[in-house]
């Protein structure tokens, strides 16, 4: 009886830890989600890259909208250096129709997205990462075929005005990895709209 009790306690403890999502140093799981071109995209598709910039974002959130041009610029700059952007919409479109898959296609075309814009339709990926906001960044480094989390948090320190950014957290983190260093800081607070889970 005591063994069973201890097993249950340990199980719930492990679930509680996993529910918190990834921490810096964790290995990111593979995922496969539908892109706006109706093709499936997996993290494992990027095995030849130095890393991947995973950004949870969406259509309706004003914070996400404010960062769209900056995300495009980051992808254009760092894709050539081995760190492409992969954007994921984690929201339930029944609550926010603007975040529907069809509207994702429209938004990506309007803004000229240069990166995959994937739909976490079953809302299975964002909880594993521990994403809570849009936008929420996870910078992954390819370590011998395993994607390791190196930076988590915000894109920069001014969501309202790109011209007033004084700390380009994500760009600095990528530059650090390219130089063979660790990002500093490796963790910042993501600022944005809360992710909208499906109502049970």
Rg (CA), the chain: 17
pLDDT in tens, the chain (200 residues): 444 443 343 333 333 334 589 999 999 999 999 999 999 999 999 999 999 999 999 999 999 999 999 999 999 999 999 999 999 999 999 989 999 999 999 999 999 999 999 999 999 999 999 999 999 999 999 999 999 999 999 999 999 999 999 999 999 999 999 999 999 999 999 999 999 898 76
Q: Which domain holds residue 38?
A: 23-194
Q: Is this prediction's pTM over 0.85?
A: yes
d(CA 81, CA 192): 28
76 part of a folded domain: yes
Number of domains, the chain: 1
For residue 53, give the H/E element and its range: strand 51-56
149 part of a folded domain: yes
Looking at residue 180, what is its pLDDT? 97
32 part of a folded domain: yes
Instruction: Give the CATH number, domain containing residue 144.
Output: 3.40.30.10
Looking at residue 8, what is its pLDDT? 41
9 part of a folded domain: no
d(CA 166, CA 7): 49
4 part of a folded domain: no
67 part of a folded domain: yes
96 part of a folded domain: yes
Helix (H, G, I), strand (E, B) or coil at 154: coil
């Amino acid at each position: 009886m005591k063994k069973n009790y201890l097993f249950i306690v340990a199980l719930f403890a492990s679930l509680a830890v996993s529910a918190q999502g990834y921490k810096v140093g964790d290995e990111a799981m593979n995922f496969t989600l539908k892109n706006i071109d109706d093709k499936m995209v997996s993290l494992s598709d990027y095995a030849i890259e130095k890393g991947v910039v995973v950004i949870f974002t969406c259509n309706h959130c004003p914070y996400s909208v404010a960062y769209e041009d900056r995300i495009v610029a980051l992808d254009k700059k760092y894709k050539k250096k081995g760190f492409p952007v992969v954007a994921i919409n984690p929201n339930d479109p029944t609550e926010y129709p603007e975040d529907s898959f069809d509207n994702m296609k429209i938004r990506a075309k309007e803004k000229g997205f240069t990166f995959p814009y994937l739909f976490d339709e079953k809302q299975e990926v964002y909880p594993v990462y521990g994403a809570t906001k849009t936008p929420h960044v996870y910078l992954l480094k390819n370590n011998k075929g395993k994607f390791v989390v190196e930076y988590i948090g915000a894109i920069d320190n001014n969501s309202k005005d790109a011209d007033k950014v004084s700390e380009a957290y994500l760009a600095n983190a990528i530059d650090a990895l390219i130089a063979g260093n660790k990002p500093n800081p490796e963790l910042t607070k993501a600022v944005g709209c809360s992710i909208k889970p499906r109502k049970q």
